[in-house]
Amino acid sequence: MTQDNTRSRVHRLHGIERVDEHDWLRDPNWREVMRDPSVLAPPIREFLDAENARTDAAMASTESLQSALFEEMRGRVAETDSSVPAPDGDWVYYRRIEAGEQYARWCRRPLSEQDSVEAEEVLLDGNQEAGESEYFGIGAVEHSPDHRWLVWSVDRNGSEVYELVVRDLSTGDDLTLETDTASANIVWAADSETLYYTTLDDNHRTDRVWRCHRAGGESECVYSESDPGFFVSVSATSSHRFMVVQAHDHTTDECHVLDASDPRSQLRCIAPRQQGLHYDIDDWADVWLIQTNRDGAIDFKLMIAPLDSSDGATWRDYYRPEPDVLLRDFILKRDFLVIREQVDGLPRLGVCKEPTADSAPTFEWLEFEDACYALGASGGYQTDDALLRIYYESPASPATTWDMDLASGERVLRKQQQVPSGHDPAHYQTGRTWATAPDGERVPISYIHRADLVADGSAPLHLYGYGAYGSSTPAGFSGTRLSLVDRGAVCAIAHVRGGMERGYRWYTEGKLENKTNTFTDFIAAAEHLVDLKLVDRLRLSCYGGSAGGMLVGAVVNMRPDLFAAAVADVPFVDVLNTMCDAELPLTPPEWHEWGNPIESEEAYRRIQAYSPYDNVGSLNYPALLVLAGLTDPRVTYWEPAKWVARLRELRQNDAPLLLQTRMGAGHGGASGRYDALKETAFIQAFLIDSLGLPAQAPSLQKKEA
């Protein structure tokens, strides 16, 4: 390969020299590009436009399939839909969306007229606010405690830089707060006059918390974080008595509180940061309830401390789960304590009635029958009632919402997700199985397929994985996924290390020096499904986004023979270069996840050994669809662009290699619900074409009872 030294860069560190021949794709003006894509350097734009044109040409033969898939997926979406109203004082609040609309409306009704359509008040109409915007993303919508004011944050180009708007609900008048660096995070104080919000520094990291009057004017900085490896956030406790400012990275937390009823009160630290100490707090009567990993509680426990705690010395144990059970979170009500735990990869909810701070709680556990499922709960806006809202779904069963009376245990069905085109869970089979990783660890896999599928090793497989930041992948329902399942594919989730499906240990065994476990777990999961005679070894595909895109990139380097097709969505593939660039938004905060290659040669060599971009080889790669967002602040557009450019130069085969850069969107892709469905239809058309699936789904046969 002839090297163009005007377009490449030589990296030298720890006595190691690397040539990055595609460094020119990184616009040095990247900060401005995120805010205004029109300033992108012309040669880079030409490259991205050419790749988009190549992708459009390659996918032109699937346009009718894309249209059919879009209509299929749209048919599974309730065009007119509404969330279950959440009571708060004299009102109930909810969101709804109408047929043909891209965005939701935020609404409310008086509690006394909650069943009256005529009593509805539309607080915010996303469609009206979006206008003709190519991208429109609402970050947060919060009504004031006195119900007179509404504040929301809005991103208009996908860069995750937000405008903050306050609306007087009595007049409809709007005020845009004077800040051009806000994040989505904004919270009301108890006085309904004061707002707290966070802003981004020059490198796109949340580093400050501000206090301002709802009517605007000069804002006051109440907290500034000096460590570039920490993010900050602001929230209110569930009782709304306190504001909480939390500074955190991936391994350490530090919480500061102030009186929410006194907008001029000063922050007070609950316990200063200690490397490796996680903790989250909520107030309960006259104590703090604290979820923490202190004293070796790797899977977390609950502790209690007085409200004037300032150093951790007064914390005492309250509840600790059984061994190998992960405490995910907790919900406080006046007379109840609810916890969510994870046992062997499956979530569960426990309820303690009339808990006291003086004695350890005893929980009653709610039972669910599916082999794999997703489970969540919310206490709502109010803490003085006995209402718990439960959210449940499985790969075959659409989302269900119940309201549970914690006193009686009675559950009332509030909503069942509708699939207008028709859906019968009996047409599908879900299951869970376990792969054996190279080191002997058991890796859980959730899957769904047609009930009439014959396990003779002829079915295609589509395997999803993530495996980073301790983020677990729930086994939930997806109407779009059914388009692949109905055509005969087995769709599975590999719950690989790097997540927390099997506890905090599962996370630590998939990060830093253990990162390659994530990749080998994924490979083991695919091979296990082949060994079960469930799928065809020659018809495997995979998908991962962001850090999951790194997983895809690493796996196709390690085992290019394993998959026939792969989709890498906003993939974090230029890992070594990014972790060596301390100015990029996520680099210092993520050294705890991947290692700091600037200071550590060991970390440098370790990352270099698996970074997808650095390990592209002269190999026969599977068909690849790579997706990027020009204004993406999390995985910058040039990572997937550079990766594809290097793949084009080095790979030895001519399988499809497609790069699509969304020129008007960021990390999450299209913002409108129909536009998002079109993107999914595009991805699935690529997979259906690559795997030889039928363009039309065969009729489904109901399984015998």
DSSP letters of 286-352? TEEEEEE-GGG-TT-EEEEEETT--SSTT-EEEE-PPTTEEEEEEEEETTEEEEEEEETTEEEEEEE
Give pTM, 2 decimals.
Answer: 0.95
Mean pLDDT on 493-507: 97
- pLDDT of 705 reads 43
Quote the DSSP letter at residue 621: P
Query: Considering Cα of 669, then 674, then 680, then 682, what sign does the dihedral take?
Result: negative
Q: What is the pLDDT of residues 291-308, one digit of tens each?
A: 999 999 999 999 999 999
pLDDT at 431 over 80: yes
Task: Provide the token pair at 666.
Answer: 């960021």
- pLDDT of 2 reads 38
Mean pLDDT on 560-585: 97
Residue 430 near residue 476 (C-beta atoms within 8 A): no
Mean pLDDT on 102-122: 96
Q: Residue 447's beta-bridge partner residues?
A: 431, 492
Mean pLDDT on 626-651: 97
- pLDDT of 703 reads 52
To the nearest whole percent, how much of the chain has pLDDT over 90?
Answer: 94
Beta strands in 451-593 (DSSP E): 461-464, 490-494, 540-545, 565-569
- pLDDT of 369 reads 83
**H/E element holding 104?**
none
pLDDT at 155 over 90: yes
pLDDT at 702 over 50: yes
- pLDDT of 368 reads 87
**H/E element holding 369?**
none
Catalogue the active-site residues.
546, 632, 667
- pLDDT of 367 reads 83
Distance CA 6, CA 27 (A): 14
To the nearest whole percent, how much of the chain has pLDDT over 70?
Answer: 98
Q: What is the pLDDT of residues 82-107, one digit of tens each?
A: 999 999 999 999 999 999 999 999 99
Burial of 17 (0-12, 13-18, 19+ CB in 10 A): exposed
**Selection from 475, 401, 425 nearest residue 82 by Cα:** 401
Around Cβ 8, how many Cβ atoms within 10 Å? 13
Distance CA 124, CA 97 (A): 12
pLDDT at 701 over 70: no
- pLDDT of 217 reads 86
Q: At what angle do helices 42-59 and 673-691 cross, to 10 degrees?
A: 60
Q: Residue 282's beta-bridge partner residues?
A: 289
pLDDT at 37 over 90: yes
pLDDT at 310 over 70: yes
Per-residue pLDDT band for 586 (boundaries 50, 70, 90) equals confident
**H/E element holding 198?**
strand 194-200
Weakest mean pLDDT among 511-520, 572-581, 694-703: 694-703
Residue 94 near residue 79 (C-beta atoms within 8 A): no
Q: What is the pLDDT of residues 517-565, one digit of tens each?
A: 999 999 999 999 999 999 999 999 999 999 999 999 999 999 999 999 9
Mean pLDDT on 272-287: 96
Q: What is the pLDDT of residues 639-681, one digit of tens each?
A: 999 999 999 999 999 999 999 999 988 999 999 999 999 999 9
Around Cβ 477, how many Cβ atoms within 10 Å? 23
pLDDT at 686 over 80: yes
Alpha-carbon Rg of the chain, whole angstroms?
Answer: 25
Q: Which residues 6+ apart lie within 8 Å of 616 measured at CB?
A: 557, 643, 646, 647, 650, 651
- pLDDT of 3 reads 42
